[in-house]
Amino acid sequence: MAKLAGKRALISGGASGIGRATALLFAHEGAAVALVDLDAAGGQAVVEEIRRAGGQALFIPGDVSRDADCQRAVARAVEAWGGLDILFNNAGIIRRASLLETSLEDWERVMAVNVTSVFLLSQAAIPVMQQAGGGVIINTASGWGLVGGPRAAAYCASKGAVVNLTRAMAIDHGPHHIRVNCVCPGDTDTAMLRQEASQLGTAEGEFLAQAAQRPLGRIGQPEDIAQAVLYLASDDAAFVTGAALVVDGGGLAG
C-alpha cells in the first residue's frame, strides 16, 4: 500500500535536486503534491512529470523568503487539495565564504532562504494542521548544521538554526499532533553542490572527488535524501519528532 495515500504535501524548492526527487517519490507513494519555487520552468516540468505518471501535482511560483508568497503558497495548496498534511521546507542556498569574506547582503539572503522560509511557511501551515488534528513538517538542515565547515559561515549558521528551530517546533506542537523533524544531508549531487566548486574556484571534478571521500565512497543522490524524507513524512516515523536525521554516507561518523 502506498505510504502517503490520501496525503497532501507542500514542498519548497521543489523544482530541482532534493525537492524534485522528493516530489516525485511522494507522488509515487500516493500524495497530492504542491511545489513552490522561483524556477517556474523547472517547477512546471516536475508537475508535468508527476501528472504523466498519473499523480496529482500543482506548481506555485513564489519566493519563500517573503511572507506574502508563503501565505499564498499554503492557501493555494489548501484550496487545491482541501487541506495540508505534510510540509517539506527544503528551499536552500549556499555561499562558500568565511565570516570575513561574507557580505551583509549574502548573509541576509542565506538566512532569508534557509531559515526565514522555514519560519514563514511553518507559521502559515501549522494553523491548518492544528485545525485538522495534526500533520508533519520536515526541514532540510545539513551535516554542517551539526558540525562546522570551512568557508561556509553563513550556511553553517543557517543550518544550525534550522536544526534547533526543528527541536523547538517539535516541543511546541507535539501536543497538537504535529511531528517536526529535519534531515541533515551530506554532499548530494545537485546543482547547488556543483555551484560550490565555482564559488571556491575549484575544478568541479576535483571538488566532487573530495566530496566523495567518506565511508561509503560516494556523494549522495537526491533520491537518497528523498527516501529519508519519505520515512519522516510517513506513519513509519509515527513516534519520531524533534530528530535530526543524518543522511551523509558516514561523513560525520569520524
Q: What's the predicted TM-score (pTM) here?
A: 0.98
155 part of the active site: yes
For residues 184 and 243, the answer to whether their CB atoms sit within 8 Å is: no
What pLDDT, on the 0 to 100 scale, is given for residue 88?
A: 99
For 51-86, what is each residue's pLDDT tens digit? 999 999 999 999 999 999 999 999 999 999 999 999
Residue-range domains of the chain with CATH: 8-247 (3.40.50.720)
The strand order across the sheet containing 86-89 reads 57-61, 32-37, 8-12, 86-89, 135-140, 178-185, 244-247
Cα(241)–Cα(235) distance, integer angstroms:
12
Q: What average pLDDT does this structure show over 242-253?
A: 98
Contact of 57 with 25, CB cutoff 8 Å: no
Question: Does position 34 have pLDDT exceeding 90, yes or no?
Answer: yes
Q: What is the pLDDT of residues 144-180, one digit of tens each?
A: 999 999 999 999 999 999 999 999 999 999 999 999 9
Predicted local confidence at residue 220, as pLDDT: 98
pLDDT level of residue 110 (50, 70, 90 thresholds): very high
Look at residue 246 in the predicted model and tell me its pLDDT: 98
Q: Which of 155, 188, 229, 243 is catalytic?
A: 155
Give the per-residue pLDDT at 254.
Answer: 82
| Length of the chain counted residue by residue | 254
Q: Is the pLDDT of residue 195 over 90?
A: yes
Q: Say how far residue 86 (Cα) sits from the centre of its chain.
A: 12
74-90 burial, b at 16+ Cβ within 10 Å, e below that, comes to: bebbbebbebbbbbbbb
pLDDT at 1 over 90: no
Residue, of 1 and 235, whose pLDDT is higher: 235
